[in-house]
Chain A
């Protein structure tokens, strides 16, 4: 059982989750302490992950894989979750939703994503996916006295269960036609393309596209984003996306490598659809969470375009894109979590009017983040798009590149509309003035990273240049 040492981060997570649970049950008003402990646990897990010398190794009958790719994604998941947790504490206290289960469920979903990302086998993958999804259902409806939150949870649960069903059906087809659940064996057994494998691929792709909310399986996203508590939305818009994209990459490049011609078309379609819908549908939104929902659909479109390129550089650039996307979205949500006037949190964009005078520094940070989301150089968002289009054009998909770039112009419209409201319009009442190291720290860090990325843009490239999953 020497192999078990490779699972140290996961095992540490499991043990700490269960100890936290027991602490939470026996202590009264344990929210604050559990919350702090879980942020510490995330950091410790990160430490364990980074100190273990990574080898490319497959353990437990080749059903779990540990390589540079999964380690990078896992670290990304941990870092983003850490920032999202520390910035949502004040919000949870304010909306009187300080249940100690909240951080524990987040840890559970992180565990699920760890298993998902590290899976090299259909069954392990599905276990991880379900652990993640079930935690997310609970998170969406955690504000159970709020009608919208419950609605979001139910909606998410029903639709997600359907997509999981499709995915599972795809998995069973795949097993039926290739005779194995192991990713490499599936690849080996499907050398000569058969219709069954393609069918399975389509089903699995549908399920995964649902999880990352790509068009045409995006319908749940706006409602769930808007209905869930903002802290949960910020988690939804970043962390499951990272894991989903990672799994999508793993599936497309390992078991389905031999039918690349078939899935490339589908991915291109999904990517174009997401880009267009993300750009067009967000224009009319007045609720900032809904707007971010559509914008994240668009961003997923760009990220997937890298996968569509079908090259090693392509998926590396997708990872790069999703990293920068996480930085931008964390910053944006840090701002949204600070929009509080009186006792209420505000979600209407119009209420931002003139905030540049009342909160100059915060507004400036949001300005940078929005320009970066729009992909204007010299901010990091531009480089993310630039790399994606590098690999798209390398594969000769000029149409995809041009559609992608034109949709960036369309989507620039709604980003600069927010800037217009903040900077050009009349001043309204200021938001509540408070100091919260979590929120302000996150937004300043995010903004600084986005600006200074220009100085040394190869830092991310160097990190991901040795990632390979073949």
Chain B
């Protein structure tokens, strides 16, 4: 196929942003034109991705749709390509972006035009991260996402936005500069930054440990793992709803994707060596942040801490190096993308009406806004991993993988499921059930069609993938198998050497 479909998907949002940039400011706050343009571009992108998924060859683990162009002469090639792992993230990105854009209509009251530009530019960078097959290109997209997200938190955020935006920016930047050193070092070791070539060449063992740590520092901050997760609750609380949605649904996944694509695939020996470290951190993340989530009185903060706990399952699953574990963490990431997006949107629905995210403001909402209460129920249950929702499959597979490798770790991780049920249900109880005490709440209206349709859509997806995750599993299966067999090969070779 000659049509450069990956570049199109990556750069169409940028073109859309340019269009919005060039349109004239309308005086009224509801800038219809800008919304239509951004919705149009993001939907075009979504359908292109569906087409991509349709024409994707699921029987091979090779990179597909490869586009190559010389970029910096004799040094870096601009190389795009996808396999069964990255296509799912691209799908998630193009799915979540239109949802975030629709939610702008209700939640962003000022400078809507600039907001849409930021979202679209961010989308370009996010897709670029998942498409790029060159370390330098990857790094550029990975870092570039900081700029729009920083502005989204800082300009449209809540009262404490400056602190959160700075924390987000500096934490992530500090995490990733070490990765840049590692990328350059890899270039001088192997003579290339092409990911596929590095897979073939294989990095000598003595370098692997330090390089692994450098990449780890970047992905751990991005994911985020305990103890560098502290930027996440702040960023989530202050970010506007669409910002939180994108942050939770996609930006966090870059860390998990990075672990799979780079840490495990390029440094298998170091990955095996450091797996206990990851296990420890994951377990702490699962248990500790769940406990912290239990104590939150701010709904957004609670969801943010629950994200950290869920990401703990992801890292745990990846570093079991079992088929179930890795497939589980992939599913966990996808489903967390949907569930956390839905939860943040739900919190946003309440926030747009009452302008409070504190749990004790609410109570007894079931009678006033029944539709909302029902929909929220689905997401809460999905977040705690009820069978029949996509949240269950991910956690279940991760635990299966973990039981195979390390019994104790698996037991400890299982407690996280109980804890997540506790904080989620408790929050739901305090917000939806009980007596209606706050008089302000009596006046609020149930969701409008906009909000209802996107939440329903997400709810349906969550349940569909809960019962039938096969389309996702089928897409990633061959690539994951290949990843694991390469890993095992390398580790065995190394054991034979020692």
A398 to B182, CA, bound (A): 10
Take A401-B181, A420-B166 as given contacts and tell me if A457 and B154 are in contact as well, using a CB distance cutoff of 8 Å. Answer: no
B339-379 to A contact mask, C-beta < 8 Å, 1/0: 00000000000000000000000000000000000000000
In contact, B72 and A461 (Cβ under 8 angstroms): yes
Distance of A198 Cα from B308 Cα, bound (Å): 57
Chain A residues, CB < 8 A from B185: 393, 398
Q: B140 within 8 Å of A by Cβ?
A: yes
Contact of A458 among B73, B169, B178 (CB under 8 A): B73
Q: Which single member of B165, B170, B184 contacts A412 (CB below 8 Å)?
A: B170
Contact A412 B173 (CB under 8 A): yes
Residues of A within 8 A of B73 (CB): 458, 461-462
Q: Which residue of B lies closest to A401 (CB)?
A: B181
A377 within 8 A of B: yes
B180 touches A409 (CB 8 A): no
CB neighbours of B173 from chain A (8 A): 376, 408-409, 412
B150 at the interface (CB under 8 A from A): yes
Q: Is there an interface contact between A393 and B166, defined as CB atoms closer than 8 Å? A: no
| B225, chain A: closest CB distance, angstroms | 19
- Inter-subunit contact A412/B155 (CB<8 Å): no
Is A457's CB under 8 angstroms from B71's CB? yes
Q: Are B140 and A402 in contact (CB under 8 A)?
A: no
Size category of the A interface is 20 to 34
A399-444 residues with Cβ-Cβ distance < 8 A to B are 401-402, 405-406, 408-409, 412-413, 416, 419-420, 423-424
Stretch among A61-69, A117-125, A129-137, A382-390 lining the B interface? A382-390
Q: A267 to nearest B CB, angstroms?
A: 20
Query: Is A371 interfacial (CB 8 A cutoff)?
Result: yes
Q: Does residue B146 face the partner (Cβ distance < 8 Å to A)?
A: yes
Q: Which residue of B lies closest to A394 (CB)?
A: B188
Whether A393 pairs with B169 at a CB distance below 8 angstroms is: no
Confirm or deny: B187 has a beta carbon within 8 angstroms of a beta carbon on chain A.
yes
Do A457 and B174 touch across chains, with their CB atoms under 8 A apart? no
How many residues of B are in contact with the other chain, CB < 8 A? 32
CA A416 – CA B153 in complex, angstroms?
13
List residues of chain B with CB within 8 A of the CB of A196: none
Write the nearest CB–CB distance from B85 to chain A, whole angstroms: 23
B136, B140, B165, B187: the one contacting A420 at CB < 8 Å is B165
Contact A402 B165 (CB under 8 A): no
Q: Does B209 contact A (CB under 8 A)?
A: no
Given contacts A377-B143, A412-B173, whether A389 and B165 have CB atoms under 8 Å apart is no
Instruction: Kindly list chain B residues whose C-beta atoms are within 8 Å of the C-beta of A420.
Output: 154, 162, 165-166
The interface residues of chain A lying within 8 Å CB-to-CB of B464 are none
Q: Which of A377, A398, A402, A406 has the most CB of B within 10 A?
A: A377
Bound-state CA distance A57–B71 (Å) is: 34
Chain B residue, CB-CB nearest to A398: B181
Tell me which residues across on chain B come within 8 A of A273, comparing CB atoms. none
The listed residue (B150, B161, B181) touching A405 by CB distance below 8 A is B181
Instruction: Supply 9 further A-B pairs (C-beta < 8 A) apart from A423-B154, A458-B71.
Output: A377-B143, A378-B141, A386-B136, A386-B184, A393-B181, A402-B181, A419-B150, A423-B155, A458-B75
By Cβ-Cβ distance, the 3 closest A-B pairs, closest first, are A405-B177, A377-B140, A458-B73
Q: Which residues of B contact A (CB under 8 A)?
A: 71-73, 75, 136, 139-141, 143-144, 146-147, 150-151, 154-155, 161-162, 165-166, 169-170, 173-174, 177-178, 180-181, 184-185, 187-188
